[in-house]
Amino acid sequence: MAKHPLQIPNFRLLWLGQSLILCAVQFWVVALTWLVLQKTGSGVAIGTVLLAAAVPRALLTLVGGALSDRLSPYRIATFSAITNTILVGTVAALLWYDTIQFQYLIIVAGVFGISDAFLYPATLSALPRLIDKSLLMKANALMQGGEQITNVIGSAAAGLAIGTFGLPIAFTINTVLFALGGLFLYFIRQPKNVQNSSTTPSIQQLLGEIAEGIRYAWKNPPIRISLLITAMLNLATLGPLVVGVAKLVELRFGGSATTYGYIQAAFGVGAFLGVLAASQINSVKTPRMTLVLLAYGLGIGTTGLGFVQQAWMAYGLIALMGLGGGFVSVIAIGWLQEQTVAEMQGRMMGLLTFTAVALDPFSQAASGFLMDINLTLMFVVAGATMLLTAVITPFSSTNI
C-alpha cells in the first residue's frame, strides 16, 4: 500500500486536474466580477450575475452528488470541465468581437452554475474511491493545498492579466486553464475494486436516493450540526468576500483590477498556510470547536473590512481569514469522508457543497443590496451574523 497519496497515479491526475480547474474558477470569478463592474458600475448587477450562477448550482448540487454515487465521478467532472471551457471561451469570443451584452453574461453564468453543481460533488466524492481511508487527511490537505495555491495564482493572474492585457486575453487564458484541467481528469482510470451502476437512474430513483442521503445526514447528529454551521458561515461570507471586496477596491483603493486580484489572492495565501498546519493532523474526533473558532475569526475579520482605509490592512485581514478557513476545510472534509459509508460519499459531498452554495444567492443578493446603501454596513451585518453563529453553537444540545 502506498505511504503517500502522491504515489498513487490516479490521485496525482485528480490533484492536478482539480487544482487547474479551481484555479480557472477563481480566475473566472475575479474576471467576471470585474467585467460586470466595468460594464455597469452596479453592485446589484454583480449580484444578479452571480445569482444567476448560484441558483441552479444550489438547486442541482444534490442531484450531482446522487449521480456521483451512481456513475463515474471522474467522467462527470470531466464533462463539467469541458462545459466550463466552452462557456468561458464563448465570453472570450464575445469580448474579442466587442459584442458582449449584460444579458449574455446572465445566461452564461446560469449554465456555468449548472455545470458546477455536478463538478464539485464529483471531485470531492472521487477522492475516497482512489485512496485508503488512512490517507484521507493527507490527501485532503494536498487537495486543499493545491486549491489554495491555485486560488492565489488564479486571483493574482486574473487581476494582472486584466490590468496588463485586457479582458479578452484574460478570458482566453481562463479558457485554456479549464481545458487543461479537464484533460487531466479524463486520464483517470477507474480502480478495479470500485464498481459503478451501468444505468442512469430515473428521475424517481434519483429523487429517492437524494432523500435517502438527506435522511442519512439528518439522523447522524454530528454530520447534521456540522453542515448547518457550515451553511451559516457561507451565508455570511460568500457575498461580502466576492461582491463587497470588489466595491471596496473601487471606492477606497483606486479601482485597480490588479489590487482586487491581489486581495483575493491574499485569502489564498492565508488558506494555504492553514492547510499546511492541518496537514500535520492525522485525524480528528470532532470539527465542532474548530468551526466555532472559525466563526469568531471570520466575524471579527469581516467586520474589520468595513472600516479599513488602506489596501495593506485589507490584505492582512483577508489573509488571516483565509488561514482559518484553510485549516478548518481540511479537517471538516476529511472528517466527513471518514464518517460516511462508501455508498453515500457522493450524496454527502453533494450536501457539503449544497451548504456552501444553497445560501449563496441570498448572500450575494443581500450583499449587493446592502452595499448600495452603505458598504461598511454590509460588512458589519455579515460579521455580526458570523459572531452570532459562534455564540449560539456551543449551546447546541448535540455534541460533535
User: What pLDDT, in 10s, does the model give residues 93-124?
Assistant: 999 998 888 889 999 999 999 998 898 888 87
User: What pLDDT, in 10s, does the model give residues 14-44?
Assistant: 999 988 998 899 899 889 988 988 888 777 7
Which class for 94: exposed (0-12), middle (13-18), buried (19 or more C-beta within 10 A)? Answer: middle
How far apart, in whole angstroms, are the C-alpha atoms of residue 354 and residue 195?
Answer: 25
Contact 389, 295 (CB under 8 A): yes
Contact 326, 37 (CB under 8 A): no
Residue 114 CA to chain centroid, in angstroms?
Answer: 14
Contact 137, 319 (CB under 8 A): no
- In the predicted structure, residue 353 carries a pLDDT above the cut 80: no
User: What pLDDT, in 10s, does the model give residues 202-222?
Assistant: 778 888 888 888 888 888 777
Q: What is the pTM of this model?
A: 0.70
Q: What is the pLDDT of residue 155?
A: 77
Mean pLDDT within 331-358: 76
Share the mean pLDDT of the chain: 81
Q: Name the nearest CA neighbour of 351 among 125, 112, 17, 135.
A: 125
Please report which helix (H) or strand (E) contains residue 243, including its range: none
Under the banding of pLDDT at 50, 70 and 90, the label for residue 229 is confident
Mean pLDDT within 347-363: 75
User: What pLDDT, in 10s, does the model give residues 126-140?
Assistant: 887 777 777 777 787
Q: What is the pLDDT of residue 136?
A: 74
Q: What is the pLDDT of residue 281?
A: 67
Q: What is the pLDDT of residue 83?
A: 95
Q: What is the pLDDT of residue 115?
A: 93
Q: What is the pLDDT of residue 198?
A: 53
User: What pLDDT, in 10s, does the model give residues 241-288?
Assistant: 777 887 888 888 877 777 877 787 787 788 778 877 777 666 666 666
Under the banding of pLDDT at 50, 70 and 90, the label for residue 171 is very high
Taking residue 20's Cβ as centre, other Cβ atoms within 10 Å add up to 25
User: What pLDDT, in 10s, does the model give residues 286-323?
Assistant: 666 777 777 788 888 888 888 988 888 888 888 888 88
How far apart, in whole angstroms, are the C-alpha atoms of residue 68 and residue 349?
Answer: 9
Question: Where is pLDDT greater, at 333 or 176?
Answer: 176
> Which CATH fold topology does 7-189+210-395 show?
Growth Hormone; Chain: A; (1.20.1250)
- In the predicted structure, residue 61 carries a pLDDT above the cut 80: yes
Which class for 12: exposed (0-12), middle (13-18), buried (19 or more C-beta within 10 A)? Answer: middle
Q: Where are the domains of the chain?
A: 7-189+210-395
User: For residue 322, which amino acid is it?
Assistant: G
Q: What is the pLDDT of residue 5?
A: 78
Give DSSP secondary structure letters for 93-133: HHHHTT---HHHHHHHHHHHHHHHHHHHHHHHHHHHHHS-G
| Cell 435517502 sits on residue | 212
Question: Where is pLDDT greater, at 363 or 320?
Answer: 320
Question: Where is pLDDT greater, at 243 or 78?
Answer: 78
